[in-house]
Amino acid sequence: MTEVDRVLSPIFIKYEGNLDVKEIYKLIKDFLTDKRYDIDEKEHNYSEKGSLKMKWEATQNINDYVQFQIEVTVKGSGLKKIKLNKRDAFSGKFEVEIEAKINKDFRDYYEGKPIIKFFRELFDYTTKKYEFNRFGDQVKKEAYSLFDEIKAYLNVMKL
């Protein structure tokens, strides 16, 4: 089973106003693609009652043992369809959540081998500690970078 280290607890952006969902979708997808992440869209639901939820899980294999993972969730509530610059958009309350993790042994090489798995964890904790700290800083930096891009986009939308 994959060992998961959460390096960034969920961070949130709350926004109330008009939003072109296709634009935010494209912004997130382009950002993750540019950073060479494989994107898996876990959820994309819209209800006529005015709610929206989109969730992505982006992963990037660093080596045979380590994988970066960034999860992005966009939620909307109290939504109404509107026209914004001749395009379909929504007006309401939105929340963007971003979380970053490091998955170790994501290919389950050590699964079913408890002694070897124990020593691998011990090795990671003692000898590879600096490297995993660097990995954590890197994936956290990329998650905050995405956070800043989304926040900047939403600030432009307010104007």
Pull the structure tokens for residue 59: 């992963």
Listed residue (111, 99, 18) closest to 57, CA to CA: 99
Structure tokens at 68: 């970066």
**Residue 107 has what DSSP assignment?**
T
Please say if the pLDDT value at position 159 is more than 70: no
pLDDT single digits (tens) 24-78: 999 999 999 999 999 999 999 988 888 999 999 999 999 988 999 999 999 999 9
Nearest-Å Rg of the Cα atoms of the chain is: 19
Instruction: Give 101-145 pLDDT, tens digit per residue.
Output: 999 988 888 888 889 888 888 888 888 889 989 999 999 999 999
Q: Which residues contact 158 (CB under 8 A, 6 or more apart)?
A: 17
Spatial separation of the C-alpha atoms in residues 9 and 101, rounded to whole Å: 9
Question: Which amino acid is present at 63?
Answer: N
Q: Quick one: pLDDT at residue 157?
A: 63
Cβ–Cβ under 8 Å, residues 153 and 23? yes
Question: 100 or 1: whose pLDDT is higher?
Answer: 100
Give the DSSP letter of residue 6: E
| Model pTM score | 0.89
pLDDT value at position 125? Answer: 84
Half-sphere exposure of 25 (CA within 13 A, CB side): 12
What are the two backbone dihedrals, phi and then psi, of residue 48, each rounded to the nearest 5 degrees?
A: -65, -15
